[in-house]
Structure 1
Amino acid sequence: MPLAHSVSGTHHAAPHPRSTAVASAAALLALLASALPLNAHATNGYLAHGYGAQSLGAAGVAAALPQDALVIATNPAGISALGNRLDAGLTYFAPRREASIQGSPVPGLNGQYNGDGKKNFWIPEFGYTRQLSPSLSAGLAVYGNGGMNTRYERNPYAAIGGQGRAGVNLEQLFISPAVSYKLNAQHSLGAALNLVHQRFSAEGLQGFDQSGFSSSPGNVTNRGTDTSNGVGLRLGWLGELTPELKLGFGWASSVRGRFDKYKGLFADQGNFDIPASYTLGLSYQLTPRWQLGADYQVIQYSDVKPVNNPLGAFLTGKKLGDDAGPGFGWRDIDVVKLAVIHRQSDALTLRAGYSHAKQPIPRDQTFFNVLAPGVVQDHVTLGFTWKTSAQGEWTGYAAHAFSKTVSGQNSIPANLLGGGEANIRMKQNILGVAYGWKF
């Protein structure tokens, strides 16, 4: 099976050793996923703004700034700098999602809508690194890569046939074993295998679940939770250019995904890949107690057709679920992350950060994105680590994503639904705590 190819329990092949291994891996992944609480979260589009409590307190900066074992999720080469350690954390995530529709001639469509039917989410994370030899290290990270959740008790699409509450829930769990090799004292290379489990459900979209809108009526909405397992690759490099200056680079392949129960909703008959991304970072030791860091990240949403295809594909005769069918119209985004770290004492380290992302959702794509209003762009973060012993330390952080509204412009197709505009809004608050153990 090639890397970044999805594993689906609904497709069968003649048994052979390779397929047996794939099936076993998929079963193990599903078992691990069922044991962990997967909760949707969206920051930079629908991917998290960082991984690991120490990185999250520093705006997600990590490519050249390895601080805890979750660096595997950004740059696996960073584990060469960590030695032996174990990290376990829990994040509380509180997004607020709203939408409004105005100017529509359809009776009952205009109004204010609140997507916070579920307000609070808990996201666990786990990381482990071990130095096997002076040049070789290994590790494992388990984390939520991203997701999206909305639940509108008052259905925004009721006037066009939606029934009951409306919303979507997308969750992505990564289990990433990793290795890193030190080429010399200054340079390390790393690789991680991303074993991915996705879950998705949608409800309240009955107005789109008909032959005029979908190529597969009956597979658009209210089909329960569907799952998909896939495999991808992450590669990284960490280099020390001077004793003060380090550079890092991490790249993650796309991961194939497929939701057969929703093949009438997502383009390409239910395909839903996780986008490729890459991150370039630097860190600079300004003084013995002050350190600066920065990451530049690109997330390639345009390679995922259900996410990238515009809603206007309806006007070319395409339907939901078609190979080039309508989607959410998201663009690639780039993210700039800045961090400052102050070692107040041998026991206390303080962190702060700021990140800014390009807007993924154009103004003419807001109507469908009432379901997925991943519009926030700016985060500020604060964090600390308190060493309680030579081996143990507690880390805490807080992050706020400022409220952002994208106001629709030609967002509701006049030829199909009479026109009007949809406006979407989101803000977020995030708190997290983790315990790290060095051994």
Structure 2
Amino acid sequence: MKNYLVTFAFSLFAMTVFSQAGHIMQGVGSVNMSMGGAATGQPLDISGALQWNPAAISVFDENQLKLDIGFFFSSPELNSTVPEFDNNGQPTGNFFSGSTADDRGVSPLPAIAYVWTYPESKHTFGLSAFGISGFGVTFPESSSNPINMPQSMGGFGRVESDYSLLQVGLTWAYEVSDQFSIGVEPTFNYASLKLIPNPTANPTGAGYPSADKATALGFGAQFGVFYNSPSGFKAGASYKTKQSFSDFSLDNTYLDNTTATNDFKINYPAIYSVGLGYSLGNVDLALDYRMVDYENAEGFAEKGWTNTFSVAGFGWENINIISAGIQYKGINKLPLRLGYTYSSNPINSDLAFFSVPATAVIKNAFQFGFSFEASDKISLDAVYHYGSSGGSTSGPLLNPQFIPNFPPYGAIPGSEVSYDMTTSMIMVGASYTFGK
């Protein structure tokens, strides 16, 4: 009755893991996260400055080390509906629907940063190692959801994935004047990827294969300018180039135990940021705008199927991100912070199939954080984050064999796949100031 499900089930869930590969963390470290990620024009800590505007580290005139660790949890839920067919391939008029919840659990999110300068020097230097992107999906086998049904019944069964991206930056900032600074940051990246199954490989009669973990190296840069007026008004702008990676070389094993290798490239998209800040007395305000250029990043710019039924790319559109935060320092040794982040959706409904469950899409995120200034040298930080997709992303299931009758991607009549999700995270950190 569901004989055709095998054709698209492998593709669907193999692509679900990639829905998070382009996820841009809205902030780095406890302080920056608690400000909604806004730091381009308001550098409250070294991690936020190093991540969003290398020129902004010029405001720190003492050597400082910052360490953070976050514990991130996402809860996507996948829903699918497919029409039922009889043994002759004709629709019966009935539909089969179900849902599956992710059960991966908690993922760690590390960050380390160091800034140093010299007395009376116009130069400031920084070193950072940030986990800027990472995900994992585990959808268990289920007889109540057509996509997660056992393979013997035409579904896929259990789906697993693991992706992480570590970025190391070497930063230099120069004070052109007392109020204006410039900054440059070469970036070096290490990424790992595991896919079960792997839709970027050519399918055989046994379907799409599973891929072992593969790694890739990448590089890029970030450039920034920062203005800090005596009146408390601040402004900044930065451009983080596309992070160009080598190909992932994926070792594949098909269900019939045959093996093969394929290469696939995923680049991290370029990011344009502008920000404003204002500080007066016990209050610091921050507002950032970012544009993420998915449409010119390999792996995201391409869309649809190849002529061998592998996936060409995900067809994501550029997104806009707004980050805002406020810090109140009126309580002795206990600064309090509130942050909000808005992000648009990169997924066109016609292509939603390729990004299910698209856990990268968090429309609204809310943060509350604080610091405890234990001494002149030591500060302890914490933040709680909660995010929501703000509703479901949905579209038809796609099958390349249906393209002749339903171009351009082969939408299956009467089918639908949708997801929604929430995220939560607790992050703690500490900073130590060494002095000039």
Judge same fold: TM > 0.5, yes or no: yes
Whether 1:366 and 2:361 are equivalent positions in the alignment is no
Matches within 5 A, 1:231-310: 231-257=219-245, 258-261=247-250, 269-285=263-279, 287-310=280-303
Partner letter of residue 273 of structure 2?
T
TM-fit CA distance, 1:69: 2.0
Partner of 2:310: 320
Partner of 1:95: 74
Structure with the greater alpha carbon radius of gyration? 2
Partner of 1:400: 386
* Cα 1:306/1:318, change in 2 over 3 Å: farther
Partner letter of residue 249 of structure 2?
D
Partner of 1:81: 59
Partner letter of residue 391 of structure 1?
K
Q: In the alignment, which of 182, 195, 213 is matched to residue 189 of structure 1?
A: 182
Q: Pick the structure with more helix per residue.
A: 1
Matches within 5 A, 1:348-387: 348-370=334-356, 372-387=358-373
* Cα 1:206/1:54, change in 2 over 3 Å: closer
Unaligned runs of at least 5 residues, structure 2? 1-16, 87-93, 254-261, 404-409
Query: What SS class does the counterpart of residue 185 from structure 1 fall into?
Result: coil
The farther-off stretch of 170-179 and 370-379 is 370-379
The whole-number CA distance in structure 2 between the counterparts of 1:288 and 1:42 is: 43
Query: What SS class does the counterpart of residue 55 from structure 1 fall into?
Result: helix
Matches within 5 A, 1:53-202: 53-70=30-47, 71-83=49-61, 84-105=63-84, 110-133=96-119, 134-154=121-141, 156=147, 163-202=156-195
Matches within 5 A, 1:28-39: none
The whole-number CA distance in structure 1 between the counterparts of 2:282 and 2:44 is: 15
The whole-number CA distance in structure 2 between the counterparts of 1:245 and 1:398 is: 28
Q: 1:115-167: CA deviations, max 9, x gaps?
A: 52311111111110001352011111111111332111127365696654113
Normalised by the size of structure 1, how large is the TM-score? 0.80
* Cα 1:256/1:191, change in 2 over 3 Å: same
TM-fit CA distance, 1:411: 4.5
How many correspondences in the alignment?
A: 384
Instruction: State whether residues 282 and 328 of structure 2, in contact with CA within 8 Å, keep that contact through their aligned partners in structure 1.
Output: yes
The whole-number CA distance in structure 2 between the counterparts of 1:279 and 1:206 is: 33
Instruction: State whether residues 98 and 426 of structure 1, in contact with CA within 8 Å, keep that contact through their aligned partners in structure 2.
Output: yes
Partner letter of residue 222 of structure 1?
S
Instruction: State whether residues 289 and 343 of structure 1, in contact with CA within 8 Å, keep that contact through their aligned partners in structure 2.
Output: yes
The whole-number CA distance in structure 1 between the counterparts of 2:134 and 2:95 is: 27
The whole-number CA distance in structure 1 between the counterparts of 2:65 and 2:217 is: 26
Q: 1:382-438: CA deviations, max 9, x gaps?
A: 111110111111111111102433342344355457331100111101111100111
Relative contact order (C-alpha < 8 Å, sep 6+): which is higher? 2
Instruction: State whether residues 168 and 372 of structure 1, in contact with CA within 8 Å, keep that contact through their aligned partners in structure 2.
Output: no
Instruction: State whether residues 168 and 371 of structure 1, in contact with CA within 8 Å, keep that contact through their aligned partners in structure 2.
Output: no
Partner letter of residue 428 of structure 1?
T
TM-fit CA distance, 1:197: 0.3
Unaligned runs of at least 5 residues, structure 1? 1-39
The whole-number CA distance in structure 2 between the counterparts of 1:373 and 1:191 is: 32
Instruction: State whether residues 59 and 338 of structure 1, in contact with CA within 8 Å, keep that contact through their aligned partners in structure 2.
Output: yes
TM-fit CA distance, 1:109: 9.4
Partner of 1:51: 28
Partner letter of residue 123 of structure 2?
L
Instruction: State whether residues 203 and 221 of structure 1, in contact with CA within 8 Å, keep that contact through their aligned partners in structure 2.
Output: yes
The farther-off stretch of 159-168 and 56-65 is 159-168
CA RMSD of aligned residues (A): 3.0
Instruction: State whether residues 273 and 288 of structure 2, in contact with CA within 8 Å, keep that contact through their aligned partners in structure 1.
Output: yes
Normalised by the size of structure 2, how large is the TM-score? 0.80
Query: What SS class does the counterpart of residue 77 from structure 1 fall into?
Result: helix
Query: What SS class does the counterpart of residue 432 from structure 2 fall into?
Result: strand
Instruction: State whether residues 405 and 423 of structure 1, in contact with CA within 8 Å, keep that contact through their aligned partners in structure 2.
Output: no
Partner letter of residue 368 of structure 2?
L
Partner letter of residue 429 of structure 1?
S
The whole-number CA distance in structure 2 between the counterparts of 1:113 and 1:425 is: 11
The whole-number CA distance in structure 1 between the counterparts of 2:382 and 2:295 is: 35
TM-fit CA distance, 1:110: 4.3
* Cα 1:262/1:74, change in 2 over 3 Å: farther
TM-fit CA distance, 1:335: 0.3
The whole-number CA distance in structure 1 between the counterparts of 2:39 and 2:383 is: 15
The whole-number CA distance in structure 2 between the counterparts of 1:207 and 1:249 is: 37
The farther-off stretch of 103-112 and 423-432 is 103-112
Partner of 1:333: 319
Instruction: State whether residues 333 and 373 of structure 2, in contact with CA within 8 Å, keep that contact through their aligned partners in structure 1.
Output: yes
The whole-number CA distance in structure 2 between the counterparts of 1:234 and 1:211 is: 42
Query: What SS class does the counterpart of residue 118 from structure 1 fall into?
Result: coil
Q: 1:63-88: CA deviations, max 9, x gaps?
A: 11112221211111121112311110
Q: In the alignment, which of 424, 430, 434 is matched to residue 429 of structure 2?
A: 434
Identity of aligned residues (%): 20
Query: What SS class does the counterpart of residue 78 from structure 1 fall into?
Result: helix
Query: What SS class does the counterpart of residue 405 from structure 1 fall into?
Result: coil
Partner letter of residue 261 of structure 1?
L
The whole-number CA distance in structure 2 between the counterparts of 1:241 and 1:41 is: 43
The whole-number CA distance in structure 2 between the counterparts of 1:74 and 1:206 is: 33
* Cα 1:234/1:110, change in 2 over 3 Å: farther
* Cα 1:221/1:138, change in 2 over 3 Å: farther
